[in-house]
Amino acid sequence: MTGHRHEPPLADLPPFAPGFRWGAATAAFQIEGATDAAGRGPSIWDTFSHTPGRILEGATADVAADSYRRYRDDVELLAELGVTDYRFSISWPRVQPGGSGPANSAGLDYYERLVDALIAAGIAPLPTLFHWDLPQQLEDAGGWLARDTAARFAEYTGLVLDRLGDRVPRWITLNEPAMMTLQGYALGTQAPGRALMMGALPTAHHQLLAHGLAVAAIRAAGTAEVGITNNHTLVVPASGAPDDQLAAAAFDLIYNRVFADPVLTGAYPDLSAFGIDGFPGAQPGDLEVIAAPLDFYGVNFYNPTRVAAASDGSEFAAAGLPFEPVESADVAVTGFGWPIVPAAFADLLVGLQDDYGDRLPPIVITENGASFPDLVVDGAVRDGERIDYLDGHLRAVRHAIELGVDVRGYFVWSLIDNFEWAEGYTQRFGLVHVDFATGERTRKDSFDWYRRLIAAQSR
- Domain span at 275: 21-457
* Domain assignment present for 34: yes
Q: Are strands 124-130 and 85-89 parallel, antiparallel or unpaired?
A: parallel
What ranges make up the beta strands (E) of 179-292?
225-231, 235-237
How far apart are alpha carbons 313 and 276 in whole angstroms?
Answer: 23
**Amino acid 11: pLDDT:** 63
How far apart are alpha carbons 328 and 169 in whole angstroms?
Answer: 41
* Domain assignment present for 169: yes
H runs (alpha helix) in 335-431: 342-356, 384-402
* Domain assignment present for 7: no
| Per-position pLDDT tens, the chain of length 459 | 334 445 666 768 889 999 999 999 999 999 999 999 989 999 999 999 999 999 999 999 999 999 999 999 999 999 999 999 999 999 999 999 999 999 999 999 999 999 999 999 999 999 999 999 999 999 999 999 999 999 999 999 999 999 999 999 999 999 999 999 999 999 999 999 999 999 999 999 999 999 999 999 999 999 899 999 999 999 999 999 999 999 999 999 999 999 999 999 999 999 998 889 999 999 999 999 999 999 999 999 999 999 999 998 888 888 888 999 999 888 999 999 999 999 999 999 999 999 999 999 999 999 999 999 999 999 999 999 999 999 999 999 999 999 999 999 999 999 999 999 999 999 999 999 999 999 999 999 999 999 999 999 988
284: left (phi over 0), alpha (psi -120 to 50) or beta: beta
Here the CATH number for the domain that contains residue 76 is 3.20.20.80
How far apart are alpha carbons 85 and 120 in whole angstroms?
Answer: 12
How far apart are alpha carbons 158 and 90 in whole angstroms?
Answer: 13
Residue 304 has phi, psi (to 5 degrees) of -80, 170
Find all residues with CB under 8 Å of 133, minimum gap 6, and list them: 28, 29, 43, 44, 45, 89, 91, 92, 93
Q: Is the dihedral of CA 149, 150, 154, 157 positive or negative?
A: positive
Cα–Cα–Cα angle for 80, 85, 90, rounded to 5 degrees = 110
**Amino acid 328: pLDDT:** 86
How far apart are alpha carbons 22 and 85 in whole angstroms?
Answer: 6
CA nearest neighbour of 129 among 80, 91, 96, 81: 91
Is 32 tagged catalytic? Answer: no
Q: Please say whether the beta carbons of 154 and 199 come within 8 A.
A: no
* Domain assignment present for 120: yes
How far apart are alpha carbons 319 and 322 in whole angstroms?
Answer: 9
How far apart are alpha carbons 255 and 176 in whole angstroms?
Answer: 10
Number of domains in the chain: 1
**Amino acid 3: pLDDT:** 40
H runs (alpha helix) in 222-277: 242-252, 258-265
Q: Is the dihedral of CA 105, 108, 114, 120 positive or negative?
A: negative
* Domain assignment present for 2: no
* Domain assignment present for 3: no
CA nearest neighbour of 290 among 315, 314, 319, 261: 261
Marked catalytic residue, from 367, 402, 420, 423: 367
* Domain assignment present for 9: no
Q: How many residues does the chain have?
A: 459
How far apart are alpha carbons 263 and 269 in whole angstroms?
Answer: 11
Q: Indicate the angle between helix axes 342-356 and 384-402, nearest 10 degrees.
A: 30
- Other CB atoms within a 10 A radius of the CB of residue 373 amount to 11
Q: Are strands 235-237 and 124-130 parallel, antiparallel or unpaired?
A: unpaired
| Cα–Cα separations (whole angstroms), residue 181 to 192, 259, 338 | 10, 10, 21
* Domain assignment present for 399: yes
| Cα–Cα separations (whole angstroms), residue 146 to 71, 210, 258, 317 | 34, 11, 18, 28
**Amino acid 2: pLDDT:** 35
Q: Are strands 363-368 and 296-300 parallel, antiparallel or unpaired?
A: parallel
Q: Taking the model in full, what pTM does it have? A: 0.97
- Quote the DSSP letter at residue 238: S
